[in-house]
Amino acid sequence: VPSEFDTDTAVTPTEDGHYAASFSAGWNIGDKPNGGYVLATAVRAMHTELLAATHGAHSDPFTVTAHYLRPCEPGPVDITVELIRVGRLMATIQASVAQGGKERVRSLATFGNFDAITGPTTVTATPPDLPSPDVCLERPPFGEGNTSLPNIQARLVTRLHPTTGWVVGRPSGHASVSGWLGFADGRAPDTLALPLFADAFAPAVFELLANSAWVPTVELTVHVRARPAPGLLASRFATTNLIDGLLDEEGELWDSTGRLVAQSRQLAMLISAP
């Protein structure tokens, strides 16, 4: 049985450089598909194009950037890809995600192959210290008075560290959150899924301002650093600088063997809830 993630990010080649996809409402936050899910679908199209062009030589997305132009909607999607350069170690490719004739997301990515790179390793970041998932917290509904969970919650395992303050209405004042992430249907994470997980957690800035704001992403860059082992990912997200309503958010994803598998940074905009 294919996983929900694989089914819902599937792409079908139409004409040269074009792929058809369909955004499932199952990955919505409110009535819009989650930005990480949208990016993962674009990454799938770029991966498929590269697979054909390079016979699988460049199968891991090393660095992926997306600029979010307009919100997406559930339903049909046209993804245009442009293969920019294929080198020996890396290949660069672009994707444009359109719906109803309007471009929604522009993405630029460089792929490589973790089997093909060698060199020294010195990791100084450390994984978050998380208690077991069953004592961590579920994400509560978004916004005051709202009781329904976003659809995406049914597709994902997200368990926040039990000290996460905003969940119980007491933001810590320190814009850092951590917790577990995975697919609800048990699909193992891989390098194609990491761009989704880099944008699937509740915003760290909720620890400053409670969950009263909408925080749309302007730009998201994900560096995939290794292929994850099966199991839940341990994650940490932090906002360091909120300036005039614009904010950065840095993320780290660690696999079940304690290996750093992705680093992310986004620029987002704070918009007060209506």
| Closest separation in Å from C-beta 87 to its own copies | 8
Extract the tokens encoding 151: 């659809």
**Rounded to 5 degrees, what angle do the CA atoms 192, 167, 256 make?**
35
CA 31 from chain centre, in angstroms, equals 18
| Closest separation in Å from C-beta 186 to its own copies | 27
Instruction: Give 43 or 175: the residue with its C-beta nearer to its own copies.
Output: 175
Q: Of residues 1, 121, 147, 148, which one binds its own copies by CB under 8 A?
A: 121
List the beta bridge partners of residue 94.
82, 108
Instruction: Give 29 or 105: the residue with its C-beta nearer to its own copies.
Output: 105
Closest to 105 (Cα-Cα) out of 156, 190, 40: 40
Work out whether 65 is an interface residue with its own copies (CB under 8 A): yes
Instruction: Give 35 or 150: the residue with its C-beta nearer to its own copies.
Output: 35
| Closest separation in Å from C-beta 132 to its own copies | 26
Which amino acid, 187?
A: R
Q: Of residues 114, 231, 258, 273, which one binds its own copies by CB under 8 A?
A: 114
58 Cβ contact list (under 8 Å, min separation 6): 50, 86, 90, 91, 111, 112, 113
- Looking at 44-52, 127-135, 177-185, 217-225, which segment touches its own copies (CB under 8 A)? 217-225
Instruction: Give 120 or 186: the residue with its C-beta nearer to its own copies.
Output: 120
CA 220 from chain centre, in angstroms, equals 9
Cα dist from 17 to 10, 20, 269, whole Å: 15, 10, 32
| Closest separation in Å from C-beta 153 to its own copies | 27
Task: Give the per-residue contact string, 73-112, with its own copies (x = CB under 8 A; - = no).
Answer: -----------xx-x-xx-x-x--------x--x-x-x--
Separation of alpha carbons 162 and 135, rounded Å? 7
Work out whether 240 is an interface residue with its own copies (CB under 8 A): yes
Instruction: Give 190 or 248: the residue with its C-beta nearer to its own copies.
Output: 248
In this structure, what DSSP letter does residue 245 have?
Answer: T
Instruction: Give 69 or 184: the residue with its C-beta nearer to its own copies.
Output: 69
DSSP per residue, 2-45: --HHHHHT--EE-STTEEEEEE-GGGEETTEE-HHHHHHHHHHH
Q: Which residues bind its own copies (CB under 8 A)?
A: 62-63, 65, 67, 69-70, 84-85, 87, 89-90, 92, 94, 103, 106, 108, 110, 114, 117-125, 175, 208-209, 218-219, 221, 223, 225-226, 240-246, 248, 260, 263, 265, 267, 269-270
